[in-house]
Amino acid sequence: MNALLLPPPRLHLRLSPLHLHPPPSFHRRHLLLLSPAASQHLRLITSEDHQQDPYDVALLPNPQYDFTPLLNFLSTHNPSQPDSPARLDPNELRLADSYRAVPAPLWHSLIKNLSSSPSSLSAAYSLVTWLQRHNLCFSYELLYSILIHALGRNDQLYEAFLLSQRQSLTPLTYNALIGACARNNDLEKALNLMGRMRRDGYQSDFVNYSLIIQSLMRNHIVDVGILEKLYGEMEADRIELDGQLLNDIIAGFTKAGDVDRALYFLGVMQGNGMSPKTSILVGVVSELGSLGRVEEAEAVFEELKEGGLKPRTRAYNALLKGYVKVGALRDAEYIVSEMERTGVLPDEYTYSLLIDAYGNAGRWESARIVLKEMEANNVKPNSYVFCRILTGYRDKGEWQRSFQVLKEMKNCGVSPDRQFYNVMIDMFGKYNCLDHMMSTFARMKEEGIEPDTVTWNTLIDCHCKQGQHNKSEELFAEMQTSGCLPCTTTYNIMIHSFGRQERWDDVKDLLGKMQSLGLLPNVVTYTTLVDIYGQSGRFNEAIECLEAMKSAGLKPSSTMYNALINAYAQRGLSEQAVHAFRVMRGDGLKPSLLALNSLINAFGEDRRESEAFSVLEYMKENDLKPDVVTYTTLMKALIKVESYEKVPAVFEEMLLSGCAPDRKARAMLRSALKYLKSTLNL
DNA sequence: GTAGGGTTAG
């Protein structure tokens, strides 16, 4: 980890102006020495601010009061409502009288103690009701809030609500109820209550924000939008940010993928002398790693060490993930050796990441050595590792090796799982080995692994790609009879298949089917439609789909415009292609190499040689590196207008620009030379 | 404390 030799880290934060104050400027080595955060509204509270109850009444000896008779009474007489009954039982009245002198804090403590255990929670409930009935204790809202809190902890949200409705909500009961909702993952109710609370003029407890963020994370539904909203509300409420809440905010933004905001709050925290939890820092390192921002990941990793903590496997893995992501194999190797040096045991994930790194670099022998090392260290590999190895082979076209991978798996005592089989099936399908594909599918089922939508989608799509549309349709039917529900991807594949066959009514049927199932068409659906309609020259339909997508509120992608431009280009409709390109620009999309290549093709097919070359100039001026396709398309354009003699120069420029010619490029040059020769011979 | 990470469609 040559931190000093690395370029300056990208620790400057890109924050949306939305709710956030300007970030504190900080230097990588001084995260801990931050100036206090420039936050106007937020009061930060540190642990010293928390007050300890000077004494707990329930823990003090109280020989004066014996609650046993009361609890015995309540276990047999369950008061369901606090309202006084028409006729009071004299025994009950005597009992109540004997407790008249009990001070309120003692009742509070008793209820707290009873509530803390699920087995006595109902006793606590009865007690509160009974106290209210005999008016023995003031501040029922406190008693209620203790109960609501306990009910919430015990999955009894409904009961908590019932209880809360006995009287109008106060800040205490509001907070207890919001907390109960958040704990029970009923975020809608929690947020609603928070809104109501605010409208009633009360400020929500900061703990509720923590509970809500935790709930969002538990349910994997945390996103930047909702966090921004919550943070805006915290600011509006002038909520105090304590250590836990800051930890939660950082974890939330990390998990939502907004690592810049996570870093910002990390700065806020450290600037105020608070230490984030190790797991929070590791989460940030991990997220930075996933984004390939390894320098920053290193910086936070160093912070972790500077905090006096010895990083453990999890922390190392997080950093390792970053190195693997950016292909920094040497750093990856270094970090693993560092683990060994400091006595931190690598686990299955560590080795998997390392194998991934070697696989990405095409170093299969090294990957195999890691497998051996795993074995030696008694760390059992799982299907994931082999799946990654197989994916590597697939992307290199070495489908024959899949049998070898299977054998090695067997040797390690690992049985292939569904995802492994899915990759294997896809691999055979992509390399036109449909027989192998189907036999792998059969084998998978024999081993008792149920195919899932990915399996079926792969089977169907691979048959389409090999032109076997009938088989695709059969599989589509088989999928459904087997009880596997087609998803949007399945429909996209089938729309593509029917579109290829120009079965337009069937395409419409599929769209109708999707709608009846409540499956919304996505960007891929619309792009597929634009593609198939465009390819068959039905440009009006293609444009309609584009418009439909926009009015459905989906953002057009550059792939979609590429499909359209490409369709125009193939028919030599250069004016329309240019127009589509302009509309794409109007939608704020950057011109991609793909789109520009299509534009060259459009001019070429329309015999507008000089415009085709002006696109090349445009590319050079705009820092878009022309590729083999660019030059090949230009050569094709020259051949189209019979300017054969200009072709070799283009080929030469391609070589000079560092573009390796492929088979198509060489074929283009050859045919130009052939024409040239034949014209010279004339 | 555990999981983390993998596969399909334009």
Nearest to A207 by CA among A236, A168, A240: A240
Reported as a single tens digit per residue, the pLDDT across A528-557 is 999 999 999 999 999 999 999 999 999 999
Judge whether residue A279 contacts strand B, using its CB and a 7 Å cut-off. Answer: yes
pLDDT at A184: 86
Chain segment A381-408, per-residue pLDDT in tens: 989 889 988 988 888 888 888 888 888 8
A485 three-class SS: coil
| Closest-lying nucleotide for A462 based on CA to C1' | B8
Q: How confident is the model at residue A55 (pLDDT cuts 50, 70, 90)?
A: very low
Query: CA-to-CA distance for A96 and A93, rounded, in angstroms?
Result: 5
In the structure, what pLDDT confidence band is assigned to residue A25 with cuts at 50, 70 and 90? very low
> What count of other Cβ atoms lies within 10 Å of the Cβ of residue A345?
12
Average pLDDT over chain A, rounded to an integer? 86
Helix (H) or strand (E) holding A240: strand A240-241
- Assess whether A278 (CB) lies less than 7 A from strand B: no
pLDDT at A478 over 60: yes
pLDDT in tens, A186-214: 888 888 898 898 899 898 888 889 999 98
Strand partners, A163: none
Residue A48: which of A299, A298, A317, A242 has the closest Cα? A242
**Among all strands, which nt has the closest C1' to A282 (CA)?**
B4
Q: Which nucleotide is nearest to A460 (CA to C1')?
A: B8
Whole-angstrom Cα distance, residue A155 to residue A159?
Answer: 9
Q: Are A507 and A532 in contact (CB under 8 A)?
A: yes
Spatial distance between the Cα atoms of A30 and A663, rounded to a whole number of angstroms: 55
pLDDT at A2: 35
> What's the average model confidence in pLDDT over A172-199?
88
Say yes or no: Cβ of A287 under 7 A from any atom of strand B: no
Residue A29: the pLDDT is 28
Q: Look up residue A152 and give its amino acid.
A: G
Tell me which residues from 482 to 511 on chain A have a beta carbon below 7 angstroms from nucleic acid strand B.
487-490, 492-493, 496
pLDDT at A35: 30
**How many Å apart are CA A637 and CA A11, to the nearest integer?**
47
State the nearest residue by CA to the C1' of B4. A349
Among the listed ranges A102-111, A249-258, A594-603, A604-613, which one has the minimum average pLDDT value?
A: A102-111
Percent of chain A with pLDDT over 70: 89
User: Rg of chain A's alpha carbons, rounded to an integer?
Assistant: 34
Rounded Cα gap, residues A433 and A299, in angstroms: 48
Of residues A150 and A78, the one with the higher pLDDT is A150
Tell me, in Å, how far CA of A420 is from C1' of B5?
13
pLDDT given at position A41: 41
pLDDT at A61: 54
Q: Quick check: A37 pLDDT over 80?
A: no
**What are the pLDDT digits (tens) for A329-339?**
999 999 999 99
The reply to whether A418 has its C-beta less than 7 Å from any atom of strand B is yes
Which 8-state DSSP code applies to residue A102?
Answer: -
Q: Which pLDDT belongs to residue A362? A: 84
A387 touches strand B (CB under 7 A): yes
Cβ density class A386-404: b for 16+ within 10 Å, e for less? bbbbbbbbbeeeebebbee
| pTM (predicted TM-score) | 0.74
Task: Judge if the beta carbon of A562 is closer than 7 A to nucleic acid strand B.
Answer: no
Mean pLDDT on A137-154? 86
Helix H or strand E segment including A241: strand A240-241
- Which is more confident, A33 or A527? A527
d(C-alpha A227, C-alpha A178), whole Å: 17
| pLDDT of the residue at A280 | 92
Q: What ranges in A521-627 are assigned the alpha helix state H? A: 523-535, 539-551, 558-570, 574-586, 593-605, 609-621
* Confidence grade of residue A42 (pLDDT, cut at 50, 70, 90): very low
d(CA A654, CA A634): 11
Residue A359: is its pLDDT beyond 90? no
* DSSP for A24-59, written as a single string: PP--GGGGGGPPPP--SSPEE--GGGSPPPS--GGG
Predicted confidence (pLDDT) per residue in A513-533, tens digit: 999 999 999 999 999 999 999
| Spatial CA neighbour of A132 closest among A122, A117, A142, A120 | A142
Lowest mean pLDDT of A46-50, A164-168, A240-244, A345-349, name the range. A46-50
Q: How confident is the model at residue A84 (pLDDT cuts 50, 70, 90)?
A: low
Domains in chain A, CATH or no CATH each: 10-45+242-309 (no CATH), 67-73+104-241 (1.25.40.10), 626-682 (no CATH)
- Burial-class residue A76 by CB neighbours within 10 Å (0-12, 13-18, 19+): exposed
The pLDDT assigned to A14 comes to 31
Give backbone dihedrals phi and psi of A312, rounded to 5 degrees, phi first: -110, -175
Distance of alpha carbon A262 from the chain centroid: 15
A466 Cβ within 7 A of any nucleic strand B atom: no
Q: What is the pLDDT of residue A220?
A: 81
| Average pLDDT of the segment spanning A103-128 | 86
Phi, psi at A520, each rounded to 5°:
-80, 135
By C1' distance from the Cα of A455, the closest nucleotide is: B8
Reply yes or no on whether the pLDDT at A129 is more than 70: yes
Q: What is the pLDDT of residues A561-584, one digit of tens each?
A: 999 999 999 999 999 999 999 999
A430-CA/B8-C1' distance, Å: 12
Task: Please give the pLDDT value at position A23.
Answer: 34
Highest-scoring range by mean pLDDT, A50-54, A194-198, A595-599: A595-599
Residues 6+ apart with CB under 8 A from A71: A123, A127
- The pLDDT of A421-428, averaged and rounded, is 94
Q: Which nucleotides of B are covered by protein (CB under 7 A)?
A: 1-10
CA distance A399 to A395: 9
Q: Is the pLDDT of residue A285 over 80?
A: yes
Tell if A525 CB is < 7 Å from nucleic strand B.
yes
Token readout for A18 is 């939305």
Looking at the predicted structure, is the pLDDT value of residue A223 above 90? no
